Structure 1
Amino acid sequence: MTTLKRVDVHVEGVVQGVGFRPFVHALARRLGLAGRVHNDVNGVHIEVEGALAGVEEFLTALERDAPALSEIERVTVVSARPTGHNGFTIAAGIPSGPLRPLVRADGATCDDCLRELADPDDRRHGYPFINCANCGPRFTIVRGVPYDRPLTTMAGFGMCQACAAEYHDPGNRRHHAQPTCCPACGPRLRLRDARGTELCGDPVAGAVTLLRAGRVVAVKGLGGFHLAVPAADERAAALLRGRKHREEQPFAVMTADLAQARRLCEIDEHAAELLTGRARPIVLLPRLPGAPVAASVAPATRSLGLMLPYTALHHLLLAELAQPMVLTGGNVSGEPIAYEDDDALTRLSGIADAFLIHDRPIHVRADDSVVRPMAGEVTVLRRARGYAPEPLAMRWPAPRPVLACGAELKSTFCLVEGRRAFVSQHIGNLENHETLRSFVESIDHFCGLFGIRPQIVAHDLHPGYLSTRHAKEIRGVELLGVQHHHAHIASCLADNGDPGPVLGVALDGLGHGPDGTLWGGEFLRADLTSFERLGHLAQIPMPGGSAAVRQPWRMTAAYLGDGHPGLDVARLDVARRNPWADALRLAPGSPLTSSAARLFDAVAALLGVRDKITYAGQAVVELEQHADPAERGTYEARITHGDLLVVEAADLVRAAAADLAAGTGTRAIAGRFHNGLADAVARACDALRSATGLTAVALSGGMFQNALLLEATVERLRAAGFRVLKHVRVPPGDGGVSLGQAAVAAARDRA
């Protein structure tokens, strides 16, 4: 006699709109089980019964074989009395409270869809908008919840009979896939010139003809417009750089496949997984010598930002072009990317020669995500398409809903409810009206999408940040200011599920310090509720204030004073001879800073690597790329002890100047500087361990996006017996600050 078993199963996580119910239906029928599956307000509910062995295999396969776009957070299983019913059905959703669905991030085109795309006998052959329940647009097309077609930007496209049959068939992979469409009923592609006039012929072939001729083509993607040129065409790349007013910041490159990517960069198994995964981020990788990429694509760097196609349109373009292409954000530098057709035609008309557009609206702007393999793991440097808006699991729940408004640069915000933290997509620098509008609209969209009404609003202490000003304009909430560097360390703690206390090392650009100075090289004792400043890099004047951020040689002047024995300062740049003297005269009245970024600026200018800044963090990026990674020499910085520990960072600059005067190569000097700063961090932490007893170190701040510094620091700290926490899921830089602010607000609310 067969032993029957019945269980009620509740699955939470990203399990709606990803083909989870059809998967459950197919699995149950294959195992000969009865029951039903339906969506509810928190996930998917399953009632299943049958032979004991079949039910047990069902529960195992439920998590093991779940759909690619699903992400299971929790499975709850409760035994029930068998009913003897036959058959397995997909039931309508059963509402029993406020909706709390989780919206999936946009996913790269799956292998099944790619096979159809390439099959001349398939009705979707060559169709740029092919998708199914396992891939395609999600977050960028959702206007509201529940996640059904009428509340997406596909609402205006009625399904043809063939697509409707697939959509309603539980055995089809397009069952309830909301963007389902085909050439007969879905969005259409068009090619327009810079005046908006539609060009005749096949849009893809026409766009590729223009690209081969060295023209700039604006391409409408999932989350906004990109600007494309062939990656090997120096004239086209330089033309794009000039029109976009992006003087030197590297462009990303898209290749057709891994084989093409391997001709450009060093790609190990781990990097290959990142490039081919469903998120398809830009991956920063070491460039191969002689890689066929134009010099203007990524000047002053040994790395390339590579990505593989994530839409059918990208696959079609690259197959026709037969070479890698630059694919950079569709904007003028400093502005957010364009994502609406009319806005793109207006804002990009002076940049693009043609526009490859379509009539499926984008509801939410989303840049490409950027990741980098560092210190044996992958760190997200920009979290956007492919990752947002999926929640990060928090180890401890927030008693009340929290909105954290983040920082000013590389802005994100974060909503927390219970144990889920929804970190927004990368918004950008809150320096113009368009970006601020995007920031405010995105907050409203997230609140509506996830049904969260914040009761606590956290913000940076800097009164001039537009994110802070917005926070203070929100009525009926409890406001909480969080010091910038505490938020950095709290972000690292939340990223790792660690409550602290730890020794927090926050190395970044500039943050508002409670003492009225500009912090940026900090050693803290920190947990999720509080912090204490234990030490810092020695404070130094910033000659000319904000001018020193744009002109790194000013920091060299501040660190070296009238010069250094044997070093002819004036020979570094003849045009700086008089300004150098002016900078020294300004120094006594200039703001004081402990910023690690300004330290990097000083050394970069000293070595002739970077004398003028055209994008944030440029000197840090280029000094790392200039450094010899095999260099094992180091410089020593004194550590002094008073009320606070102080790392005398000027020692590093003076040692670099002495080596430069002695004729040492600049790549070796840059390597020794990185090693010297890593040594100083490790020695400072060792001294603070003796004073505090703390044995864990959390590393955060934009300087730890520098792989050379991060890896050297981690190596030394681990050798000294420390447990080291570093960022993985959110950026070490200001893009992760909102998570830290939210974690602090939730922890203080629990206290």
Structure 2
Amino acid sequence: MIEPQSLMIQVHGIVQGVGMRPFLYKTANAFHLTGFVKNKGASVVIVLSGEQRAMDGFLYELTNNPPPNAVIHHIDISSHPKLHFQDFRILHSAEDEKIQGCLLPDLAICDDCREDILNQKDRRFGYAFTNCTNCGPRYSIIEELPYDRGNTTMRSFTMCEECNKEYKNPENRRFHAQPNACPVCGPKYILFLGNGEQVECENPIEKGKQLLKEGKILAIKGIGGYHLVCNAENETAIATLRMRKRRPHKPFAMMACSIADVMEICSLNPKEKETISNNRRPIVLLKRNDSTFLPDNISPKLRQYGVMLPYTPLHFLLFDESLKYLIMTSGNISGMPICYKDEDALEHLKDVADYFLIHNREIMTPIDDSVVKVMEEEALLSRCGRGYAPLALPLNTLNEILAVGGNQKASLCFVHNQLAHISQYLGELHFLDACKEYTSVIDRLSRLLNASPQAIAHDLHPNYFSTQYAKKQKITTIAVQHHHAHMAACMAEHNFYEKGIGIIFDGTGMGADGAIWGGEFFIGNRSQYKRVGHLEYITLQGGDSAIEEPWKCALSYLDTIHESIESFFPNLDKVQLQVVEKALQKKVNCYQSSSMGRLFDCVAALLLGCSHISYEAQAAIELESLVDDSITETYSFTITERAGVFILGYQSILEGVLEDFGNHQPISVISAKFHNTISKATIECACRIREKYLVDNVFLGGGVFENTFLLKNVVSGLRILGFHVYYNQKVPRNDGGLSFGQAAVAASILEERAYVSGSSNENYFS
């Protein structure tokens, strides 16, 4: 007789709330093994007894065929004292002071639960909070680890007898589904008027659907916060929402009833179809069909729609044959954080929404929808939110670090137990409410991860709220240059440590010389960089107003080539124009900038007559949307070397643009030639840097590379010339990925013991 063996197995990663314990229970029984499994902190611990061959089979299944939503980072296996168990059991969770592991993002409703809510014979027919171990809320309702019902906002709802039976049955797909509920015992929706008065009705969801058909605007509480919702086929309703929300131009996200309905309005390739349909259900940026029947005011002047599919039971219940498309935009006033507390929503959105559809389950952590685009069969994350956050990526360091990001598209990154835990998108830190939520998320993630940072990494800019927060903490602070953080984020995502070329095109970021950088070429690694090239400096006037009023950028650029701005903007206030011109001449409130974003703003403003914008990079985004991709011509450009640094000149590019504009060339042609020129000049700079420094690994980053046409052309052009090219896919290329890059820089500096307090860390390579 073969003597049974005993093992202890600890599984780390995203292993709670994904059906891991019932999977292990069934697998152990299939191999006739005995023992137990339990949650421990954020890991899962298994004690296993049986024949070696059976245990090998068990480990094979665990390693190769885990539950679909599980992400296993590593498995620790050790021998265990031989014990004789009668069977295999699932035990209660254990406390563990050294919590390690990952927090599970919220997951879209699975097909099985969707069938339940649409089946008139099922007890969950029409129930908006249906879920199982394969789907439903996670991160948004967790208060503490381990992930048990009592540690979530579902603790307020006592399961009925039927739900309790499901919860306790290892053979049931709702076994230990912590948000498990039904119409008898779970959360419920209630409908309110905009003034907060309850609307008496038998079925609030059905009544809400009818109101949407009538052209009303609803504020609807979902998994991670409120959405403002209206019928996407009703142009008047959309116009009303724009006026009330103070969002005149920025595209609205849409939700379509089904993938077939998405294909009615957009062109999808197989990767886009897969991405929009997966269990994360992000907003995907898709090319709209020319024959679309939807109103133009959904996505003004753009060729794209941002579309998502239903991801909660409620969403499926809102659609029918006569309501297939809904505007579903964040429940806030533009620029403010998403509302997630009922009292705040009723206060802040009372002048926007006609009705409120509110449920009585508390949201612990607000989280916006994620945004993804597909390029070259790869899904690129542009905004990290529901379904993705918190995002855990390996970072090989024993140091515990908090990185606090920037001021726009704020995010946080905790480095804990050799994992970088990246928060959801936290908005713009210009508002008091956003700053309060930002610090709340720091406290919440710190508690959930049981993290104790030894160092805190921040941006160089002294006036950022994130920088000021960092400097108030009584731990080591590490200042990281903005664009070096972008470069390091790309390097860390691709697990690259050696020297490389960083090409970072961005809007704003304080440079080591005090100027505003953003058109940068670096040689460096994660801990050090050398600035070896940049876009030629321009003197800009007006601080942030130059971003919000791109005519000011255009004025500065035109001034360098002695061109007048008045013919481009005949309606500009003459007095204001004279004031800015004088301030520019006398260098009042002026700053030097190498920002590629500002050059795009200048050209877009001139070509489109766009003097003011109402959302970030509006003019540049509209300019990209006009590109005629059949055009291959470029404008002339100059690259000169000054004091060992390559300077990309803008004057000849701008003169070429103005010449074509004066000759009445189509804007689509000029836009294409401008984009092609920036791509070609970027590639030429990279070639010169490679020749000088003998480096051919290139890392692209910064918000300007959200421009898909530019990114695609630069990547393909560099690869043709033999470069190894990397860009962020899992982490946003924009400032949403900044905290991850700061963490990577800080980790590398601490590992090398290279940090000197107060340095900008621009260390030069020999």
Mapping of 1:95-110 within 5 angstroms? 95=95, 97-110=97-110
| Contact 1:392–1:422 (CA under 8 A) maintained in structure 2 | yes
- The 8 Å contact of residues 543 and 554 in structure 1, kept in 2 or not, is answered as yes
Name 1:707's counterpart in structure 2.
Answer: 708
Q: Is the 8 A contact 2:520 2:535 kept in 1?
A: yes
**Alignment deviations for residues 421-462 of structure 1 (CA, whole Å, 9 cap, x no partner):** 111111000001000000001100000011001120111111
1:163-188 per-position Cα deviation (integer Å, ceiling 9, x unaligned): 11111111111111111111000001
**Residues 375 and 554 from structure 1, CA distance in 2 versus in 1: closer, same or farther, beyond 3 angstroms?**
farther
Corresponding residue of 1:392 = 393
Amino acid at match of 1:74: H
Query: Are 1:521 and 2:522 matched, yes or no?
Result: no
User: What do residues 261-295 of structure 1 show as CA deviations (whole Å, max 9, x unaligned)?
Assistant: 11111112111111111111100111111212211
C-alpha separation in 2, matches of 1:653 and 1:374: 29
Q: How many equivalent residue pairs?
A: 746
Q: Quick one: structure 1 residues 646 and 723, their matched pair in 2 at CA, closer, same or farther if it must change by over 3 Å?
A: same
Q: Map of 1:479-518 to 2, 5 A cutoff?
A: 479-518=477-516
| Cα distance in 2 between the residues matched to 1:276 and 1:347 | 33
Equivalent AA in structure 1 for residue 399 of structure 2: R
Verify: 1:438 aligned to 2:429, yes or no: no
Letter of the aligned partner of 1:607 in structure 2? L
Task: Give the direction of change, closer, same or farther, for the CA distance of 1:316–1:432 in structure 2 (3 Å limit).
Answer: same
Q: Residues 79 and 698 of structure 1: is their aligned pair in 2 closer, same or farther, counting only changes over 3 Å?
A: same
- Shift in CA distance, 165/288, structure 1 to aligned 2, threshold 3 Å: same
Instruction: Identify the residue that residue 142 of structure 1 maps to in structure 2.
Output: 142
Q: Report the TM-score when normalising by structure 2.
A: 0.94
Aligned-pair identity (%): 37
Q: 1:121 to 1:570 in 2, by over 3 A?
A: same
- Name the CA distance, whole Å, in 2 between partners of 1:713 and 1:690: 18
SS in 2 for 1:511: coil
SS of residue paired to 1:196? coil
Partner of 1:477: 475
User: SS state of the match for residue 471, structure 1?
Assistant: helix
Alignment of 1:351 with 2:352, yes or no, is: yes
Q: Shift of the alpha carbon at 1:741? A: 0.8
Q: Are 2:175 and 1:175 equivalent residues in the alignment?
A: yes
Q: How does 1:238-257 map to 2 (within 5 A)?
A: 238-257=239-258
Shift of 1:231: 0.9
Partner of 2:556: 558
Q: Distance in 2 between matches of 1:424 and 1:479?
A: 20
Q: Deviations over 1:671-701 (max 9, x none)?
A: 1111100111110011111111111111010
What are the equivalent positions in structure 2 for 1:319-330 lying under 5 Å apart? 319=320, 322-330=323-331
- Give the match for residue 450 of structure 2: 451
Question: Aligned partners of 1:609 and 1:391: how far apart in 2?
Answer: 43
TM-aligned CA distance change 1:216 to 1:383, over 3 Å: same
The answer to whether the 8 A contact 1:224-1:337 is kept is yes
2:405–2:735 CA contact under 8 A, matched in 1: yes
Identify the residue that residue 757 of structure 2 maps to in structure 1. none
Pair 1:305–1:656, CA change in 2 (3 A): same
Aligned partners of 1:602, 1:359: CA distance in 2, in Å? 49
Per-residue deviation, residues 21-40 of structure 1 (Å, max 9, x unmatched) = 11111122233333322222
Q: State the match for 1:549 in structure 2.
A: 547
Alignment correspondent of 1:292: 293
- Distance in 2 separating the partners of 1:387 and 1:274: 12
Secondary structure, counterpart of 1:286 in structure 2? strand
Structure 1 window deviating more from structure 2 (133-142 vs 54-63): it is 54-63
Instruction: Quote the residue 2:283 is aligned against.
Output: 282
Q: Give structure 1 stretches of 5+ with no counterpart.
A: none
Classify the secondary structure of the residue corresponding to 1:262: helix
Q: Which stretch of the first structure deviates more once superposed, 385-394 or 437-446?
A: 385-394
Q: How has the CA–CA distance of structure 1 residues 122 and 499 changed in structure 2, closer, same or farther, with 3 Å as cutoff?
A: same
Give the stretch that moved more between structures: 513-522 or 705-714. 513-522
Please identify, of 88-97 and 477-486, the stretch whose mean Cα deviation from structure 2 is larger: 88-97
Cα distance in structure 1, aligned partners of 2:243 and 2:738: 32
Is contact 2:41–2:146 with CA below 8 Å preserved after alignment? Answer: no
Contact (CA 8 Å) 2:93, 2:146: kept in 1 or not?
Answer: no
Instruction: Give 2:350's aligned amino acid.
Output: S
Q: What is the alpha-carbon distance in structure 1 between the residues aligned to residue 10 and residue 321 of structure 2?
A: 47
Q: Do the aligned residues in 1 keep the contact of 2:12 with 2:100 (CA within 8 Å)?
A: no
Q: What SS does the aligned partner of 1:682 have?
A: helix
TM-score, normalised with respect to structure 1: 0.96
Distance 2:271 2:560 in 1: 49
Contact 1:609 1:622 in 2 (8 A): no
Matched-pair contact (CA < 8 Å) for 1:208–1:320: no
Letter in 1 for 2:583: L
Deviation of 1:610 (Å):
2.9
Cα offset, 1:54, TM superposition = 4.1
Find the residue that maps to 1:439 and give its secondary structure: helix
Q: Deviations over 1:83-140 (max 9, x none)?
A: 6755322233345643335321000011111111111111111100001111101111
- Residue 43 of structure 1 and its aligned partner are, at CA, apart by 1.6
Question: Is the contact between residue 224 and residue 386 of structure 2 (CA under 8 Å) also seen in structure 1?
Answer: yes
The unaligned stretches of length 5 or more in structure 2 are 753-766
The residue type equivalent to 1:158 in the other structure is T
What residue in structure 1 maps to residue 653 of structure 2?
652
Deviation of 1:375 (Å): 4.0
Distance 1:418 1:170, change over 3 A: same
Distance of 2:677 and 2:178 partners within structure 1: 55
1:597 and 2:593 aligned: no
Give the alignment's Cα RMSD to 1 decimal.
2.0
Secondary structure of the corresponding residue to residue 574 of structure 1: coil
**1:35 and 1:85 in contact (8 A); partners too:** yes
